[in-house]
Amino acid sequence: MTDCLVENARIVTDAGLQRGSIATEDGSIAAIGPDLSASGADAETVVQADGMVALPGAIDVHTHMHDAGLFPDDIDIGTQTASAVAGGVTTVVELPTQTPVTTPAALREKRARCEDRAHVDFGLVAGNFQDGDVDVEGFLEAGVPEFKTFTAEPYRADDAAILDLMTEVGAAGGTVRVHCESQAILDDARARLDGTDPELYPQSRPLEAELEAIGRVGWLAEYADCPLHVVHISSGSGAAVADRFASRANVPVTLETCPQYLAFSADDVADRGPFLKVNPGLKSPDEVDRLWQAVRDGTIDLVATDHFPTHREDRERGWDDIWVPYAGLPGVETMLEFLVNEGVHEGRLSWPRLLELVCARPAREAGFFPRKGSLAVGTDADLVLLRNEGYEVSAEDLAYNGGWTPFEGRTWNWRVDTVVADGSIAARDHDVLAEPGDGSFLPRGPRVSTG
């Protein structure tokens, strides 16, 4: 029997938009076709999607949602996956923040806590590794093939430690993810700055810090024969440096960027102040243009958010002293709407390219494909419908409980209407109907190369 019938949507495919209906059964996609009204006559829920665009549920492979030692009580995988599903993200990959997940035992504990609360399916990443002494096989047995490390504080590993980690992880078929900024350049830049003004912040995270670290880490990965995922590339030049290693194709290299690096430049900090405090820092308008080009032409493989939740009051303190609040932006709920509006609607991206950036490629890179990332029969019944309607972005309209968004006041024309997860209506108009615990942990195997 059909659980959910989505009628007459414009479905995004590799080739473009195609009018059709989608039927789900027992949490999977049961049928897709031009007219399913006969076979879906017994559907429990019918969604009339005339004029709406249908995508597979988006996948955010980079979030920070759960850290009992760091985040306040009301910020955890429960409230943050509610924000995710409200914005059409039906799968997340959660990374460590302050509390180490550097042993399989710590991982199992985090998994259990997240399973109790998650509104959407999730995978986990181990980290943050500051030395090379890692039980790689133990993590693989626990369903986690990805390992996070940093070239910068507060979780900095030195080159020898990164090389050790890469050697072990590469041999076992895992992937190392690296935050790439040079600590030496960051330290020097910071020492030259005097004052507390928000506009100083981007100056404390120079472009060269990113370029130097991506290059260094690229050579280390190539030498160690280890698949590399460069997280949150913040500049077009950074994408170009990372692409040198990706093009050599000796080992897979995945290039990720985030909406904040496409939406904002350092010039926007004058207006938005601490609400744009983020690491890596924002770059010049020229670098933003070059980054859009890299997203469009396929140099960048995927978009994720680096979602980092904080409360508005906490962030406000940065107006007086930008060095006080934590760096990081909430973004999981606005990622898809940002890319549809400022990417597709503005003519920078095609619908098929969007599908690749936030559904298909993340699913393949993270090891969720073919279960996630496409609207094929037999895959998980996770999908999102967007409707065409003008509005002004306001944190008040979001499910996110931190009370702010860096996109406040932007004028957009596409909005998430309905989200289906596991065959059930999970959100409507950013109101969350999914429940804590609806999401499941997704164990992942060693990496399969996708080129």
Residue window 393-412: x/- pattern of binding to Zn ion, with contact defined by CB under 5 A: --------------------
- Joined together, the tokens standing for residue 199 give 């506009």
**Smallest gap from residue 140 Cβ to Zn ion (A):** 22
Q: Site residues for Zn ion, window 10-49 (CB under 5 A)?
A: none
Rounded to whole angstroms, the Cα distance separating 407 from 90 reads: 21
**Smallest gap from residue 64 Cβ to Zn ion (A):** 6
Residue window 284-323: x/- pattern of binding to Zn ion, with contact defined by CB under 5 A: ----------------------x-----------------
**Smallest gap from residue 247 Cβ to Zn ion (A):** 25
The secondary structure of residue 44, as a DSSP letter, is: S
Name the nearest CA neighbour of 149 among 172, 126, 170: 126
CA dihedral 76, 80, 81, 82 (to 10 degrees): 120
**Smallest gap from residue 197 Cβ to Zn ion (A):** 25
Which C-beta is closer to Zn ion: that of 151 or that of 167? Answer: 151
Rounded to whole angstroms, the Cα distance separating 78 from 321 reads: 31
Rounded to whole angstroms, the Cα distance separating 108 from 309 reads: 23
Question: Do residues 108 and 93 lie in contact, with contact meaning Cβ atoms separated by under 8 Å?
Answer: no
Which C-beta is closer to Zn ion: that of 257 or that of 379? Answer: 257
Question: Do residues 201 and 264 lie in contact, with contact meaning Cβ atoms separated by under 8 Å?
Answer: no
Residue window 250-289: x/- pattern of binding to Zn ion, with contact defined by CB under 5 A: ----------------------------------------
**Smallest gap from residue 231 Cβ to Zn ion (A):** 6
**Smallest gap from residue 304 Cβ to Zn ion (A):** 9
Which C-beta is closer to Zn ion: that of 5 or that of 217? Answer: 217
Which C-beta is closer to Zn ion: that of 67 or that of 306? Answer: 306
**Smallest gap from residue 306 Cβ to Zn ion (A):** 4
Number of chain residues interacting with Zn ion (CB under 5 A): 1
Rounded to whole angstroms, the Cα distance separating 80 from 1 reads: 32
**What is the Cβ-side half-sphere exposure of residue 324, based on CA atoms within 13 angstroms?**
16
Which C-beta is closer to Zn ion: that of 307 or that of 415? Answer: 307
Residue 241 class from Cβ within 10 Å (0-12 exposed, 13-18 middle, 19+ buried)? buried
Q: Site residues for Zn ion, window 173-202 (CB under 5 A)?
A: none
Which C-beta is closer to Zn ion: that of 60 or that of 268? Answer: 60
**Smallest gap from residue 2 Cβ to Zn ion (A):** 39
Which C-beta is closer to Zn ion: that of 32 or that of 278? Answer: 278
Give whole-number Cα distances, 360 to 10, 57, 106, in Å: 18, 10, 30
Q: Site residues for Zn ion, window 219-238 (CB under 5 A)?
A: none
- The residue with its CB nearest to Zn ion is 306
Who's near 312: CB < 8 A, 6+ residues apart? 395, 402, 403, 404
The secondary structure of residue 256, as a DSSP letter, is: E
- Residues in contact with Zn ion by CB under 5 A are 306
